[in-house]
Every structure is written in C-alpha cells, then in structure tokens.
Amino acid sequence: MQIKILANLIYFFVRILNFTYRYEFVGLEHKKNAKAALPNKTFVYALWHQNLVGSIFSHIGEQFTMVISESKDGELVAVTCEKFGHLPARGSSTRGGKKALLEIVRNVRRGVMGALSVDGPKGPANVVKPGVIEIARLAECPILPLSPYAKSFWTFEKSWDQFRVPKPFTKIVIVIGEPIYVGREVEREQYEELAHKVGEAINKGEEIAKSILSKS
C-alpha cells in the first residue's frame, strides 16, 4: 500500500514538473523511418543512465517497455512506470537478467517501443553493455540512439554516472540518432563493435544538443 501511495505522489509530481520544461526534438524522422521499416513497427531506444530523467519526461504519453531492477527500490519505480502506461520487465545484469531480456523481446516483437539505459544499472558509465544488441537481434528491430540534454540541470556528483536532473523551466533538446540495424545473422563476436557504434552515436547526439543549446 505504501508503495502505491508513493507511486501516486511521484506520478503527480512528474506531471506537474513536466509542464515547466520546453522541449526541442531533433531527428524525429529517424524515429518515423525506424517504425515504418519493419513489420512490428517499433525500435529500442539506447540512452545513458545519467539522462534517464530527460528521456522519460520528454516521452510522457508514449508507451515503452524497459528493464527495472527486482530490488525494493525497483518495485517503486516499476509501479510508477505502470501508472504512466509502461511495461516494466523486472531484472538486472546481476539478477533475473535473462528473464527480463526475454520479456523485453516479447513486448517489442508485439509492437511496444523499447528503452534501455545501456550502461546501467551500475556502470561503468558511458560504456554500452551487450544487452541492447541482443534484444535488437532477437526482436528484429533497429536501435535508436537517444540523447537528451538540458540547458540547466543538477548533477549528482557522488553517483557512479554523474546523474542529471533538469532544473524546472529549462529547455531540453532531445536528439534521436539514425537507426542502427542488427540482423539475426550477427554473431556474438560482433557485439562489441556494434556496442561501440551505439555509444559513439549517443555521444554524437549529445554534442549536437549542446551545440543547439549554446545558440539559444
């Protein structure tokens, strides 16, 4: 019961805070093209864990499936995400990971968009783990690099990834990169190269967002 109450409070707080942000999207055509390219009409977003807040807030109103830890803290996050209409898959790299991966794949294959913090849950920061490559291969969908960057934000200096929270009333630029396709024929030996490509695309998107904000 306590978790449900907290989830409700977080839900309304997020809704109110989200009204204060100004968004600018770059690369929406990549999202459109990715959804049109394959029969299931979906994709998997790849983002850095430090940009979770900007990623989630900028996509309120859309349904996603994502991995959420099976911990007690994860339970609160999962219940809150469900209130926003999302489909959490419970697990992590250390517990229930395979089960969560397969659930994500099932959801994506039936048309639900995926979203993964590809260096989470504990890092190392800005290093893409192979899970997103495996999901894209099994679900037969493209990966879309997602790079939100706020003009003004707080940084949690003691967190492993320098976690960012955009300040109220700031502008957030969200860059969606070109689709990265992973065929069923891809071998595990190629995962590292593809993961590096995804990471480079996320970083490139962030630099584009910073450049746009520097001119505004």
Residue-wise pLDDT tens digits, 24-60: 999 999 998 887 777 677 999 999 999 999 999 999 9
* CB of 135 closer than 8 Å to CB of 101: yes
Question: Dihedrals φ, ψ of 42, to 5°?
Answer: -145, -175
pLDDT of residue 171: 98
> pTM to 2 decimals?
0.92
Q: Residue 86's closest CA among 48, 106, 60?
A: 60
> Could you tell me the sign of the dihedral formed by the alpha carbons of 31, 84, 165, 75, in that order?
negative
Q: Residue 154's closest CA among 144, 142, 140, 165?
A: 165
Amino acid identity at 55:
S
- Residue range(s) defining the domain that contains residue 68: 2-214
Strand partners, 155: 164
The per-residue pLDDT of the chain, averaged, comes to 90
Q: How does pLDDT run across 194-216, given as a tens digit for each residue?
A: 999 999 999 999 999 999 999 88
Q: How confident is the model at residue 100 (pLDDT cuts 50, 70, 90)?
A: confident
The domain that holds 200 is classified in CATH as: 3.40.1130.10
Nearest-angstrom CA–CA distance, 147 and 35: 18
Nearest-angstrom CA–CA distance, 44 and 79: 21
Task: State CA 199 to chain mean position distance.
Answer: 13
Strand partners, 163: 156
Number of folded domains in the chain?
A: 1
* CB of 57 closer than 8 Å to CB of 66: no
Nearest-angstrom CA–CA distance, 210 and 87: 31
Mean pLDDT of 16-21: 96
Query: Which tokens in the block code for residue 133?
Result: 């490559």
